[in-house]
Amino acid sequence: MSAVTLSLVGAGHRGAESYGDYCLRFPERARVVAVAEPDPVRMQQFVDAHRIPPEGQFRTWEDLLAQPRLSDALVVATPDQLRDGPVVTGARKGYALLVEKPFAPTEDQLDAMSAAITDSGAFVGVAHVLRYTPFYRTVKDLIDQGTVGRLIHIDQTEDIGYWHFAHSYVRGNWRRQDETTPMLLAKSCHDLDLLTWLIDEPATSVSSAGSLTHFTRQHAPAGAPARCTDGCPAAESCPFFAPRLYLDRMKNHPIWPVTAVTRDTSPEARLRALQEGPYGRCVYHCDNTQPDHQVVTINFPGGVIATLRIGAFTGSNTRTIRLLGSHGEISGRLDTGEIEVRRFLPAAGSGVQDWPRWDRDALGRSGMPDDETWTISAGPGTDPDEAATGRESDGHAGGDDGLMHEFVEQVQQWKAGRGAALPTELRDAERSHRIAFAAERSRHSGQTVGLTR
């Protein structure tokens, strides 16, 4: 089949480095033929890389979508608050759509966008990429195969990492709820989507607690100035000291998050950006409003409960999961890809043994020492199609490429009139987003919030 053609709205980090980069590596599958990007530097870099002629270059999404349909599909990777216009217009113009998460920043916008898309009958996928990782697909298979019996509880954690949280949610673009989206939706709608997918039921109620606890003025070190570059007396002891992060520890790191600070990644440009821009501000003297830790408890039919913990105060930047079933348990860590399965039955061939310490295994861990236990390695690995390029498929632990492979394949089916379906269609995104909105209402009210749809 011929390559799927794409028009891209938003050539920023996700647009250029995930969706655009995929097309450069797999030109036989997909290619970008048009782009809308208001930033002239980003635009020039993108059109040069993809060899897009002048007639495919637009400053705004309105200009692009004013044209007759230019491609098979439209990828919408704008800032959170600017998604509704290109999504609704693109659906009405007959494009297949891939929309960056979160799909909508407010519940009112979600309702309006969903209604418009339903009316148009458009084929829409939402970029909840973690469903496409080998790690979470393995977890899903283990559940569906009944490996640990009936599912009882899932505990999902997202360790944002102290530096990442300071970068994005204290100094960066997502620091204020009133200007973007709640941190839970912006960062963890992936996790809420995973929970609804793994449990495969609509949630019935949600409760949540969390607050902005640490990144406030009252916790600023004595004498700390408004900017780290203005001679902070706590520079040596503060883990959030910007020059150490962006100039020293990331000295040889010319991509995100440095490119969010300055696209010129030379030492001189970095220092100037810290002296003048938002990423050099003291984390205790910013205008941030996002909570720095939060817990969400979600109830599902049949008594299944899921908990999600997200927070800034971790050294790691990854996700972990633990599932409790009637006949076993599963635990795993996304960054290593390691999954441990334990069934509450003796391993085959273990026989009846007189254990010196009956409640400890060979490693000294508590529990029946002859329980059937095994470990699965489900890391992102290397995509066979990328072997020639030598590029590791590790965007979102392999999820970025997995999503694009699936989207391109389904668009081919859609073009051929054979029916198409993505694991993360609009109805699935609606479920996770409504949980997030309900969780925020619960966090502010202190009350459990019921879900009716």
- How far apart CA 88 and CA 93 sit, in angstroms, is 9
pLDDT confidence tier of residue 10, bands split at 50, 70 and 90:
very high
| Mean pLDDT, residues 265-275 taken together | 96
pLDDT, position 126: 92
Fold assignment, 4-122: Rossmann fold (3.40.50)
With 90 as the cut, is the pLDDT of residue 144 above it? Answer: yes
pLDDT, position 13: 86
pLDDT confidence tier of residue 1, bands split at 50, 70 and 90:
low
pLDDT, position 351: 63
| Mean pLDDT, residues 140-167 taken together | 97
**What pTM does this model have?**
0.90
CATH code for the part of the protein at 132-215+290-382+440-445: 3.30.360.10
With 70 as the cut, is the pLDDT of residue 215 above it? Answer: yes
Higher pLDDT, 58 or 129: 58
pLDDT, position 369: 77
The DSSP 8-state label assigned to residue 324 in this structure reads E
pLDDT, position 303: 94
| Mean pLDDT, residues 297-308 taken together | 96
pLDDT confidence tier of residue 392, bands split at 50, 70 and 90:
very low
Q: Could you report the per-residue pLDDT of 408-452, keeping only the tens digit for each?
A: 999 998 888 776 666 567 888 899 999 999 999 999 999 999 998
| Mean pLDDT, residues 211-226 taken together | 97
Q: Starting at the edge strand that comes first in sequence, how are the strands of the sheet with 318-325 ordered?
A: 371-377, 338-346, 328-333, 318-325, 151-159, 305-311, 293-299, 205-211, 449-450
3-class SS of residue 326: coil
With 90 as the cut, is the pLDDT of residue 121 above it? Answer: no
- How far apart CA 165 and CA 60 sit, in angstroms, is 30
- Give me the amino acid identity at 16: A
With 50 as the cut, is the pLDDT of residue 383 above it? Answer: no
- Give me the amino acid identity at 415: K
pLDDT, position 365: 74
Give buried/exposed letters for 398-419 (b at 16+ CB in 10 A, else e).
Answer: bbbbbbbbbbbebbbebbeeee
Cβ-contact 313, 292 below 8 angstroms: yes
Q: Which uninterrupted H or E stretch holds 21?
A: helix 21-25
- How far apart CA 212 and CA 311 sit, in angstroms, is 10
With 70 as the cut, is the pLDDT of residue 191 above it? Answer: yes
Q: What are the residue boundaries of the structural domains of the chain, listed by start?
A: 4-122, 132-215+290-382+440-445, 227-280
Q: Could you report the per-residue pLDDT of 327-359, keeping only the tens digit for each?
A: 999 999 999 999 999 999 888 876 656 655 667
**Which residue bears the tokens 């003291």?**
282
Structure tokens at 167: 């970068």
For the chain, the maximum distance between any two Cα atoms, rounded to a whole number of angstroms, is 78
Average pLDDT, the chain: 91
Structure tokens at 380: 């992102």
Helix 134-144 crosses helix 183-199 at what angle (to 10 degrees)? 40
pLDDT, position 356: 59
Per cent of the chain over pLDDT 70 is 92
